[in-house]
């Protein structure tokens, strides 16, 4: 339960993630054959994985990368009460990346003893004034706390043979640089992923891996893992299925004025096949 | 194509005389909804190396939005071991699905002598999936193994 609270706190500040809970993308599959392949993706924020029980994930920031790294097209997007859904036509062979990157600034300050908040939780609502930004902090403000947030939530799907162009790091924030291709995961075989912070190996990074289907078992069966000195994470999959992976880090390499802390998050959903 | 015993007797010069036969049995299953299985037969060098697909039976004629190739990834071991990098239909390899029965598949005539693992994988719509793997020696090896659900006896005579 303690871990859940930590994750909830981390996600609390993401504007697109509505409120607490876990955000996830669930592809209909990750391995595709044939000449007319489509993947359909559910996007939601929920308590248990992967059940639609809380809020849909907004699709505004959702993007598609084709196997050559150029932008692709998201189709048939729709947002319901509990989930969003969209399709991507995999009309080029290779590995596609689908997901979103959230950059936000959150924080608070006091003016004459009154606390004010920077940023906003949840999606914009028509009756609410626009959120305060760093520029709105007056000169006489005290207790200024500004946090920069960089979060990624992405999935990888492959039509035909896997390729690696979409894994080219941007060098900004927390990124996955897989050693084992995420579409080549097999139960019982260890997978290796390297994590990068600003393009450099993220040593001692905390990573949580949780199998889907929590509703059908008693415990969460979360694996709490840590990357080694080279930023390498080794995961051995106990069974086939869909897994949610979440990595978080905090540092003070901020770029926003007055920000003192930076929170980094990385989420992906991985499909592990039976051997 | 199998070399005649006479040719074998005097020895082949160009290609090693390793042509053999795989016999694959597709069992008759008593199920409510039966579809003929997709089947892949391939050889992997025992020491590691690229897999060589010998036969692939799928719904080659199925077109439209969901052509037969859509389900090839369901032969998940074969797909991972090399199917995904093949272009379909593959000459001399792909063919239509087969009804229950016993089928003989010739091994490639240019197969180099050595240790291999013969794999036969079957996946059936609304049904199961099974992989039968047999270590074999080429030439002169014989081997046999039975599946338990989607495949019957798989026999190999590498001669």
CA B30 to chain centre: 24
Residue A139 lies in a domain: no
* Cβ proximity of B18 and B144 under 8 Å: no
Contact criterion met (CB < 8 Å) for B83 and A37: no
| B-chain residues near A34 (CB < 8 A) | 66-73
The pLDDT of residue B92 is above 60 = yes
Q: How far is A241 from chain B (nearest CA, A)?
A: 14
Q: What is the pLDDT of residue B140?
A: 78
Contact criterion met (CB < 8 Å) for B79 and A184: no
The pLDDT of residue B17 is above 60 = no
* Cβ proximity of B55 and B39 under 8 Å: yes
* Cβ proximity of B115 and B47 under 8 Å: yes
* Cβ proximity of B53 and B19 under 8 Å: no
- CA–CA–CA angle A86, A91, A95 (5° rounding): 80
The pLDDT of residue B44 is above 90 = yes
Weakest-pLDDT range from A115-129, A223-237, B138-152:
A115-129
The pLDDT of residue A118 is above 50 = yes
In whole angstroms, what is the distance from residue A86 CA to residue A41 CA? 5
Residue A37 lies in a domain: yes
DSSP β-bridge partners for residue B59: none
Residue A112 lies in a domain: no
Interchain contact B85–A (C-beta under 8 A)? yes
- In the block, tokens 């996007």 appear at A43
Contact criterion met (CB < 8 Å) for A31 and B76: yes
Give A127: exposed, middle or buried? Use CB within 10 Å, 0-12, 13-18, 19+.
exposed
CATH code at position A51: 2.60.40.1930
Structural domains present in chain B: 18-158 (2.60.40)
Which pTM does this prediction carry?
A: 0.86
Q: Which of residues 86-125 of B touch A (CB under 8 A)?
A: none
> Taking CA atoms, what residue in B is nearest to A30?
B73
Full domain range(s) for residue A185: 2-103+148-273
Contact criterion met (CB < 8 Å) for A33 and B66: no
Q: What is the pLDDT of residues B94-104, one digit of tens each?
A: 999 999 999 99
- CA–CA–CA angle B131, B136, B142 (5° rounding): 105
| B-chain residues near A161 (CB < 8 A) | 84-85
Give B68: exposed, middle or buried? Use CB within 10 Å, 0-12, 13-18, 19+.
buried
Contact criterion met (CB < 8 Å) for A161 and B85: yes
């Amino acid at each position: 339960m303690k871990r859940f609270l930590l994750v909830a706190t981390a996600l609390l500040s993401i504007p697109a993630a509505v409120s607490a809970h876990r955000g996830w993308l669930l592809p209909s599959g990750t391995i595709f054959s044939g000449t007319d392949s489509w993947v359909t993706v559910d996007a939601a924020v929920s308590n248990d994985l992967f059940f639609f029980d809380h809020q849909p994930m907004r699709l505004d920031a959702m993007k598609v990368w084709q196997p050559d790294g150029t932008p692709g097209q998201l189709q048939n997007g729709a947002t319901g009460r509990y989930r969003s859904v969209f399709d991507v036509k995999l009309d080029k062979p290779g590995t596609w990346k689908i997901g979103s990157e959230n950059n936000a600034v959150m924080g608070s300050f006091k003016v004459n003893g009154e606390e004010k908040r920077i940023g906003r939780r949840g999606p914009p609502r028509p009756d609410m004034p626009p959120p305060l930004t760093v520029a709105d902090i007056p000169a006489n403000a005290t207790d200024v706390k500004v946090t920069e947030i960089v979060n990624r939530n992405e999935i990888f799907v492959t039509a035909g043979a896997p390729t690696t162009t979409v894994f080219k790091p941007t060098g900004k924030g927390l990124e996955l640089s897989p050693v084992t291709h995420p579409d080549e995961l097999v139960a019982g075989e260890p997978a290796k992923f390297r994590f990068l912070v600003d393009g450099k190996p993220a040593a001692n990074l905390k990573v949580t891996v949780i199998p889907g289907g929590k509703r059908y078992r008693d415990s969460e069966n979360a694996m709490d893992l840590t990357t080694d000195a080279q930023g390498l994470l080794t995961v051995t999959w106990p069974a086939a299925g869909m897994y949610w992976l979440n990595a978080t880090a905090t540092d003070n390499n901020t770029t926003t004025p007055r920000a003192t802390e930076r929170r980094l998050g990385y989420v992906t959903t991985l499909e592990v096949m039976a051997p | 194509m199998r070399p005649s015993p006479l040719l074998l007797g005097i020895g082949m010069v160009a290609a090693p005389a390793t042509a053999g036969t795989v016999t694959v049995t597709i069992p008759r299953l008593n199920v409510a909804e039966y579809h003929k299985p997709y089947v892949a037969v391939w050889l992997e060098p025992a020491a590691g190396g690229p897999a060589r697909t010998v036969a692939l039976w799928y719904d080659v004629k199925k077109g439209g939005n969901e052509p037969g190739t859509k389900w090839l990834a369901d032969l998940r071991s074969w797909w991972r071991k090399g199917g995904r990098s093949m272009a379909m239909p593959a000459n001399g390899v792909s063919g239509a699905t087969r009804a229950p029965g016993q089928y003989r598949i010739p091994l490639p005539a240019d197969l180099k002598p050595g240790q291999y693992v013969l794999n036969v994988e079957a996946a059936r719509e609304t049904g199961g999936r099974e992989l039968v793997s047999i270590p074999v020696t080429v030439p002169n090896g014989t081997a046999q193994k039975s599946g338990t659900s989607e495949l019957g006896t798989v026999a190999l005579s590498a001669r």
